[in-house]
Amino acid sequence: TAARDVQSILRELGLDGQLSGAYAGEWIPTSGPELEVRSPGTGEVLARIPQAGAAEYERCVEAAQAAFLKWREKPAPLRGEIVRRMGERLRAKKDALGALVTLEMGKILQEGLGEVQEAIDIADFAVGQSRMLYGLSMHSERPGHAMREQWHPLGICGVISAFNFPVAVWAWNSMIALICGDACIWKPSPKAPLCAIATTKILAPVLEEEGLGALLGLVIGTNEEVGERLVADRRVPLISFTGSTRVGREVAAKVAGRLGKSILELGGNNAMVVTENADLDLAIPAIVFGSVGTCGQRCTTTRRVLVADAIADEVERRLVAAYDQVRIGNPLADGTLCGPLIDSHAVEGMQRTLEEAKQEGAELVYGGEVLSLDGDESGGHYVKPCIMRASNSMSVVQHETFAPILYLIRVADLDEAIAQHNDVPQGLSSAIFSSDVREAERFLSAVGSDCGIANVNIGTSGAEIGGAFGGEKDTGGGRESGSDAWKAYMRRQTNTVNWSRELPLAQGISFG
Ligand code: NAD
């Protein structure tokens, strides 16, 4: 039945025939090196995609630019109306697309469906935002003058996405970019290209009805042929990059070199502070969801727990008991809480980190093994989530390993917890568990967490779309999704209008 399910999912999303790696208002035949897509849960080949090269990339950019010139003239609320129809298409395909996220990326079905829901939510958010692209009016120092600031469409937004959120990351960017009047070109991760093809097939027809399909350009190609070309392209004023800090640093330098704009959403090293005043009935499940969810492959995964000495033994005992209940296996199956890692490199990376951690003196508390599951003849990439006792200064703790490894770090008090919390290169998401309002407010204050996201009595992962999402330091400083993140997708213009019959100069200057 599993095999039939896979075929029916692919068929429902139009992925069962010959596939193309490029969309520029129409699907362009591609004939580059074939990209083989395997399911991380079973190793099964899901599809083979001939990749796009320089010529197809060029067609996408030219078509996107032409579409942008028309799109920017459409009033923003009417752009919002079109995005509203996209949200409806996503709703209709939520089940199939959510299942595809699970098949291709390996997160459990509940999380796959949740990811598509996030794309629907941001479409809804964008519809409302389309009527609220507010500028400001200022008081001019000159009589008979008006001053204001307005926001105009920017151009093409290049979206380079990571494998772990193969639909939502793109949706955060493109739904907002569209209502802002921009075109998008998407270079998805080569580890999750089917989600990109399926999403484009679901949504582009809404724009095709307007003759503007090219606003949702898609290019699946190698980093050398397509990724680097997009990053270097002066016709693309904004690059929104989501991925590792290592690649993000290179991308940021190249975009800055041509004075382009970038939004950087890079790696995290997220911690939860658990004080003596924590309600452990909340903290324990939050830690388990944060560290084991998506098999430790979220940018907001809980990687460190900074726990007060006095309760550390109890927290450790309860965590081990909870980890023992986590069902690991086929991510499509009911009841599974932890699916596979994305590929064999991720499994090797995790094992290497565990070795290094032991050499640095960390102690294994639970798990870490590579699993070969009963009835799994093909080799899914399953591991047992792991807990280690460690100290914050260890080099393994300072790095993001994209796997379910949780470091338990004991601290004497809140001062020490905050100091260690901030003493890592990354600054994405953070949380404190405490029922003491003084402790909680301190963590959120200027002398508390240095992260872009700081929570009280909820975990580090699972952000809502209404807030601005992103982080500081090595996480890159970008903000996406809600709040005023839309401003990054537009250009700001300051206007001064003289409606008097005089020509006074600013700063009282008299000239001639
Ligand atoms: P990655 O850095 O390996 O790849 C990200 C994307 O960059 C992929 O599409 C890849 O093909 C592309 N790429 C690689 N080299 C390139 C180049 N030279 N030029 C242009 N593009 C290039 O990351 P990954 O393994 O796919 O994702 C995991 C990482 O992403 C983790 O570090 C995770 O924390 C981070 N992430 C961050 C956020 C966030 O919002 N902060 C969200 C999701 C994932």
What pLDDT was estimated at residue 378?
Answer: 59
The predicted-structure confidence for 395-431, as pLDDT tens digits, reads as follows 999 999 999 999 999 999 999 999 999 999 999 999 9
Mapping DSSP to helix (H, G, I), strand (E, B) and coil, where does residue 495 land?
strand
The predicted-structure confidence for 325-364, as pLDDT tens digits, reads as follows 999 999 999 999 999 999 999 999 999 999 999 999 999 9
Contact yes or no for 71/4 (Cβ under 8 A): no
- pLDDT interval class at 512 (50, 70, 90): confident
Quick check: 377 pLDDT over 80? no
Mutating to test ligand 1, I would choose from 37, 101, 233, 266 the residue with most ligand atoms within 8 A of its C-beta, which is 266
Pair of tokens at residue 453? 């996201």
Percent of the chain scoring above 90 in pLDDT: 97
What pLDDT was estimated at residue 375?
Answer: 57
The predicted-structure confidence for 46-103, as pLDDT tens digits, reads as follows 999 999 999 999 999 999 999 999 999 999 999 999 999 999 999 999 999 999 999 9
Mapping DSSP to helix (H, G, I), strand (E, B) and coil, where does residue 364 land?
strand
Residue among 404, 403, 406 at smallest CA distance from 390: 406
Q: How far is the CA of 164 from the centre of ligand 1 (A)?
A: 9
Mean pLDDT, to the nearest integer, of 132-150? 97
What pLDDT was estimated at residue 1?
Answer: 41
Q: Which atom of ligand 1 is nearest to the CA of 248?
A: 2
Quick check: CB of 336 below 6 Å from ligand 1?
no
| Phi, psi dihedral angles at 405 (to 5 degrees) | -115, 125
Q: Of the residues 56, 265, 316, 480, which is catalytic?
A: 265
What pLDDT was estimated at residue 372?
Answer: 84
Mean pLDDT, to the nearest integer, of 430-441? 98
What pLDDT was estimated at residue 376?
Answer: 57
Mean pLDDT, to the nearest integer, of 116-121? 98
- In this prediction, the answer to ipTM > 0.90 reads yes
Count of CA atoms in the C-beta half-sphere (13 A) of 227 = 18
Quick check: CB of 162 below 6 Å from ligand 1?
yes
The predicted-structure confidence for 312-326, as pLDDT tens digits, reads as follows 999 999 999 999 999
Mapping DSSP to helix (H, G, I), strand (E, B) and coil, where does residue 401 land?
coil
Quick check: 466 pLDDT over 60? yes
Mutating to test ligand 1, I would choose from 160, 169, 246 the residue with most ligand atoms within 8 A of its C-beta, which is 160
Q: Which atom of ligand 1 is nearest to the CA of 469?
A: 40
Mean pLDDT, to the nearest integer, of 270-293? 98
Mapping DSSP to helix (H, G, I), strand (E, B) and coil, where does residue 341 land?
coil
In Å, how far from its chain's centre is CA 388? 27
Q: Kindly report the average pLDDT of the chain as a whole number.
A: 97
Q: How far is the CA of 287 from the centre of ligand 1 (A)?
A: 25
- pLDDT interval class at 15 (50, 70, 90): very high
- pLDDT interval class at 5 (50, 70, 90): confident
Mean pLDDT, to the nearest integer, of 264-278? 98
Contact yes or no for 331/109 (Cβ under 8 A): yes
Reduce the secondary structure of 145-170 to three states and give it as a string: EEEEEEEEECCEEEEECCCCCCCHHH
Establish whether 265 is a catalytic residue. yes
Quick check: 3 pLDDT over 80? no
Quick check: CB of 115 below 6 Å from ligand 1?
no
Quick check: CB of 186 below 6 Å from ligand 1?
no
Quick check: CB of 242 below 6 Å from ligand 1?
yes
Count, in order, helices (H) and strands (E) of the chain. Answer: 15, 25
Q: How far is the CA of 299 from the centre of ligand 1 (A)?
A: 10
